Amino acid sequence: MKVTYVHHSGFFVELPQVNLLFDYYTGSLPETDGKKPLAVFASHRHGDHFSEVVFQLPEWFQDVSYVLSGDIWERRVPADKRGKTIFLSPGQETELDLSGRDSCFSVRIRAFRSTDEGVAFLLDCGGTVIYHAGDLNNWTWNGEPEAWNRAMAGNYHKELGKIRAVLDEWGKEIDAAFVPLDGRLEDKFYLGLDDFMKQVGAKHVFPMHCWDDYTVIGKLKKMPESETYRDRIIKITGDGDSFEIEP
């Protein structure tokens, strides 16, 4: 599996049967085999996670399908793309059928409720499991009322429990997870990713939503809280970084 960090929460994932593009709104995309189908995901309607530029991808992408959060208005999808677009709301599951092309293949997708807007995605791509959190995170902010922060943490842990239950149902573990690590949360910046790795887990975790401050990645790797999983944290340094990982 090859993972390219595009920008912010945007990632391009290359698998043998399919390419995946998550939360793209800006940045350079790698030029790849245009005969391989591309599935484009958008976790919610915020401008740093979704843009209509996804409907104007470079011409080398010949076979494109879209999986969008249900909070994205259908009218934002061009009429000629709607037949290849699936909208998912929290709790829904679907199969993205890619058969009848070069091979018979489908991607199993489950959506989870974000603690902000939209959904998070859990994918089973022929045995390779990928998770993209979107804005599902423990958004505990200094200055917010204690009751609000307690509710935030509780809602986040509830969704993580649902993700863990689905993985157990599928008999799978996550190979690559894309999870927010946002320095704007100050001393609470690591809580969401730490909660995720301890309650759900992944073979490789890619911090995202860092607002170009990648120092938070090294900071977390040095913290005692990450001792049990720090070797699984992928250290991103900037747009265009690519990583070859074993599922």
Q: Is the pLDDT of residue 239 over 60?
A: yes
Would residue 118 be called left, alpha or beta, if left means φ above 0 and alpha means ψ between -120 and 50 degrees? left
Global pTM?
0.97
**DSSP 8-state symbol, 221:** H
Q: Is the pLDDT of residue 113 over 70?
A: yes
Cα 71 to Cα 227: distance, rounded to the nearest angstrom: 37
Q: What is the mean pLDDT of the chain?
A: 95
Question: Using an 8 Å Cβ cutoff, are 93 and 75 in contact?
Answer: no
At 102 the pLDDT is: 54
Q: Is the pLDDT of residue 101 over 60?
A: no
At 60 the pLDDT is: 86
Instruction: Please report where in the chains the tokens 């061009």 appear, as a residue.
Output: 78
Segment 79-97 shows an average pLDDT of 96
Question: Using an 8 Å Cβ cutoff, are 232 and 204 in contact?
Answer: yes
Cα 95 to Cα 128: distance, rounded to the nearest angstrom: 15
Q: Is the pLDDT of residue 200 over 80?
A: yes
Q: What CATH number does the domain located at 2-244 have? A: 3.60.15.10
Q: What burial letters (b/e) apply to 92-123, b meaning 16+ CB within 10 Å?
A: eeeebebeeeeeebbbbbbbbbbbbbbbbbbb
Residue type for 98, please? L
At 171 the pLDDT is: 97
Q: Is the pLDDT of residue 33 over 80?
A: no
Strand locations in the chain (E): 2-7, 10-14, 19-22, 38-42, 64-69, 85-88, 93-97, 106-113, 119-125, 128-132, 176-180, 204-208, 242-244
pLDDT 10s digits, 54-73:
999 988 888 999 999 999 99
Distance set, CA 228 to CA 13, 74, 165, 187 (Å)? 26, 43, 22, 20
pLDDT band for position 103 (cuts 50, 70, 90): low
